Structure 1
Amino acid sequence: MSPKCEQCDGPLVPVQAGMPIDDTPYRRHERREIYYTGGCMGGPAPWWCWSCERFADPEPRPSPSMTVEGYQLSLLNDMRGVSPSLPELPAPYTDPPEALVEEAVEWRSPDMLKIKDMAVILGEPVSGGPSRHRFALPLWPDFWLEHESMDTEVGDYVVGKRFVRRSGEPMRSVDDMRPWSVLRLEAEAFFGWEPTRLPNAYYHVVPFEIGGRPMEAYFVHDLLMQVSERSESQGPSRNGPGL
């Protein structure tokens, strides 16, 4: 059953890609040259009210019962999808209990997450600039996980995230190219890599050389996940959204 609008108590219509799924009322309005105030491809809220002509989100997400550990496991599962050879994980992530696995799935299930809802579980964020909010996570003590947000009438939604340095030294030598130790921008500065054409991509696979050996570095949310030797059959680079 669809939730009700908090303002008019009318039914809410689900939104996909910024548009109400049921566009029949929209087409009727279009013929009458009336357009809803939220704007086509507007806010990321998951519901739309045709009576009020506004985006809506009556349900806070995620549930306050979720934990930091569940969020971290959700991130690790996310990273594993790109780089299966993750660094050795600390307990309880080597063999997580079933309840934690279920919680990690719940973290991934909402279409959109709000900064204020995440703050209930992760603690108040540190501002990293306009529309950027940095959370401290125990698994990565040297980094903030910075969430970029989009401000809408129903709250700040997370639209992207990346790791940024919180403490410790940036990359100083080739030996520093260890998983969970280097950021993509630090490696770019050290090796003189050309900046990526897609800086906001979810992951990057960067070809480079060490002592004449062809290598590849995998970055997820701008944090180094894996360094591996590139075989001749792979060619100069790998195609993917991160290149």
Structure 2
Amino acid sequence: MNKYSGRKAVVAGGTHGMGLAVVKALLDGGAEVVLTGRNEKNIETARTELTSSAAHVVRSDATSMADIHALGDLVEAGLGQIDFVFVNIGLAKLEPFDQVTEASYDQSFDTNTKGAFFTTQRLAPLVRDGGSIIFTTSIADEGGTDTLTVYSGAKAAVRAFAKGIASALLPRNIRVNVISPGFIDTPTMGITGMTDDDRDALKEMGDTATPMKRHGTVEEIATAVLFLAFDATFTTGARLTIDGGIGQGISTPR
């Protein structure tokens, strides 16, 4: 199947989980992809797993302006113009409001917010007119949870960024949208610093809280991302929730 033959994409945060699923779907469809990560183990695993010559795995830290600019230079030299950017940059840590420190606050906003913004700013000039950009936020970008207060604020900022950037790129017909996942079955469950027991407990809680009574799969995320990227040609500035109904006020039938 060559649905994406001739397409070129960048997936920032593409070496594991949801990002890697998007990369695999793009490659299966015939696209050429630059994917980034900063965890050396995930980078090496992705390099081993992705045997296609169309996959270019790059170490890049979204909190480093030097790395962001170097990524843009690499993409420009290697791919030239691109069709799609998936800004799948994120860091979540369970931290109660009264335990947040300046260091943990800065770490969250440097990754989730500053990194996402400046990665997009650097890559946007390389996106073809008529292309698309998608950000990953979270269903936590609205509502309130004590242990995710800072993360929620950082992701809400990204959601706001997407609307402003969508406006800025309208003259070039570049669409900018957001996906907001709920509980998704990824290696880390989206939270850093948890033990295996913590992840098991979080998964059980997520299955109970989600009206569809299960976690989403990374393949379901990839399907939604690529729909927005290539098929939703009259959609920009939108937020697509992929959450099994948990953020939609749906009650489980009695």
TM-score by length of 1: 0.27
Structure with the largest fraction of helix: 2
Pick 1 or 2: higher relative contact order, CA cutoff 8 A, min separation 6: 2
Structure with the greater alpha carbon radius of gyration: 1
**Greater strand share, structure number:** 1
